[in-house]
Each structure stands twice: as C-alpha cells, then as structure tokens.
Amino acid sequence: MTVLTTEQLGVLARAVSRAPSVHNSQPWQLLVRGTEVDLLERRDVELRRHDPNGRDRLLSCGAAATNLELAVRALGRDCHLEWRSDAAATVTIGRPHATSARDFALYRAIARRRSHRRPFSPERVPEAARAAVAAAGEAAGLHVVVPGQLGKLAELLGFATRVLRDDRAYQRELEFWTAHTHGWGAIGDGVPEAALSPEALPVAGLVRARTPVPDDVVLARRLAAEHLLVLCTDTDTRTDRLAAGAALQRVWLTATVKALVGSVLTQPLHLTGFRARLVSELALPGVPQAIFRFGYPDVPAAPSPRLPLGELFPPPGGTR
C-alpha cells in the first residue's frame, strides 16, 4: 500500500513531467510500489541521429529524478535516491521530515524553469549568482568548468554546426520533433517552433538546415558574451550519465531561483571525436556531459508542451 495519497502522487507526477528532456521527448514513467517510486527509462523513445547511444535520454531521466526527489521532500517526507541498472532510479520514501528552505525553493522553481534558446539580456550576471549556479553542480559531485580558450571552443562548435546542418537524416529527425508541436498550453511532446531561434550558436541550442555559422572570431565573441559552464564526470558509465542529468537539473533550478534562464548544448558532444577534442583543447578534468548557458531573459520563454499525466504511469504488463 502506498504511503502517499492520490493528490500527493499527483504532486510527484507533475514535478517529473516538468523536467527538461532531449527534444522534450519526456522519456520516463513512474511505477509506485508502496514506499518506493521507480523512475523508468522509456527505451522506446529513440533519437537515432541526435542521441544514438541514449546518453541524452539518461541525462533526461537524471533530471526527472531530481524533480521527483525534490517533490517528495516538498511533501515533508525524507527520501533516498538510488540509481538503477534495470530502471533509471528508485526513490524510497521515508519518515516525515521538515523540508529545507533550499529544497523548497528548488521545488518551487520546477514550474518556472524554461529552455531559453534565444539571446540573453546584455546584463551580466553578478559573480555571487554565477558562483551559486556552479556550486550547485559541484555539490552534486560533478566537475563544473567555466571554459577558457573560447577561440578553440568556437572552432569546435563551428565545425559541429556545419556537420549537423548538412546531415540530412539528423535534420529529418529534428523536423519530426518540431513540426507537430505548438506553444502555450499544448499537450504532447517535441520542441515548439516558437521556442527555437534563427540565431547562430551559442543561441541556437538545436542546429537546423538554415542555422547560420559565423566565423570563429565572431563566434568566440558571442561565446564571451554568454555565461557558460561545462559539466563533466570522472567516467562515462550509465550511472555517470544519470548523475550528470540530476546535477544539471540542480544547476538549472538554482539559476531559476536567481531569476535566470538557461539552455543546454549536447548535440555536438555526440559527434565522433568531439568530446575528446573538447577535453584536450579546454583541459577539462573529466568527460563532458553537457554545456549549460545561462543569463537574464531578454524575452519570456514559452513552456514546452507536456504529455498527459496519465501517460506517466505504465499500463499493467509494462511500459507503453
């Protein structure tokens, strides 16, 4: 018998549903087993060109696990999160426990978090806020690096943009995940067209056939105008990827608490040899899992659509 009411389970479901995910694919489901709530990875959600090894799908599930944990704590219960090999994670609900002010602030930020794939305001983020955002990832066990050598980073990102822009299969897949999706109040998955930007990197988190590629000097100047973090793990196991997604979400929610917005660059990391070059050129202390860009919003970002909450729970006999 579950220890939570139907209304409380709804709180958990809504929190999980608001997690960021690759192409807003929402590749997760929940299985409630008494005091344990399993977060299941939906392996049937495949992006064969963007995410051939399922790395971003695991990052997405890790982010959802953070939301699940924060929602349990916001309900005034202690809990324990464990990464799984046969699922994504299990959250075990414990005894009543007062919610910390920090956890409650992060929980409240879940509904306000957006993927801001547009230019930021020119206003610079104060050092204290930048430090707090980076510290959220470090506290969760990641190496969080403010990238130097922006000329090298611009060269690598420019190359990746040209490759992805000319990859017809990649472009067909991306078109599928944007063509059927609408904006405010929509139900479903995918990335709303209105959420995308015609600008070049680093603004364009998703590279399309018409995405422009500035020369390396211009791109380096644009990178310097942004606030960037590279999130790295020591190794690249399944658990590392889940933990990276969980930490990335804490970074993102911390930014949201500070009235900041952000978006994630992952697609270049899937290109053969790109991550190794990134480690070498930027002297990174581990395996890069994501690049997070953040700042103050110039215009408000619309929320992405969400699947009906009922689809979060698998039917008897397995996942949908």
Which residue is listed with tokens 């704590």?
A: 73
Query: 304 vs 7, 102, 113, 284, 318, CA distance in Å?
Result: 24, 26, 10, 32, 27
- Longest CA pairwise span in the chain (Å): 61
| pLDDT, tens only, 49-105 | 999 999 999 999 999 999 999 999 999 999 999 999 999 999 999 999 999 999 999
Q: Which domains does the chain have, with CATH numbers?
A: 6-113+304-312 (3.40.109.10), 127-295 (3.40.109.10)
State pLDDT tens for residues 11-28: 999 999 999 999 999 999
CA distance 95 to 78: 5
Mean pLDDT of 101-118: 96
Q: Which of 226, 225, 196 is nearest to 210 (CA)?
A: 196
Q: Which of 190, 186, 188 is nearest to 177 (CA)?
A: 190
pLDDT confidence of residue 63 = 98
What pTM value is reported for the model? 0.95
Per-residue pLDDT reduced to its tens digit, 173-228: 999 998 676 655 678 999 988 788 888 778 777 899 998 888 999 999 999 999 99
- Measured over the CA atoms of residue 13, residue 240, residue 263 and residue 66, the dihedral's sign is positive
In the predicted model, what is the mean pLDDT of residues 290-313? Answer: 92
- As a whole number of angstroms, the distance between CA 311 and CA 232 comes to 32
**Structural contact between residues 114 and 303, judged by C-beta atoms closer than 8 angstroms:** yes
Complete edge-to-edge strand list for the sheet that includes strand 143-145: 143-145, 227-233, 287-295, 261-265
Contacts of 202 (CB under 8 A, 6+ apart): 157, 219, 222, 223, 226, 228, 265, 293
- Quick one: what percent of the chain has pLDDT higher than 90? 84
pLDDT category of residue 319 using cuts at 50, 70 and 90? low
Confidence of residue 318 (pLDDT cuts 50, 70, 90): low
Taking only the tens place, the pLDDT of each residue in 235-280 is: 999 999 999 999 999 999 999 999 999 999 999 999 999 999 999 9
pLDDT score, position 320: 46
- State CA 240 to chain mean position distance: 15
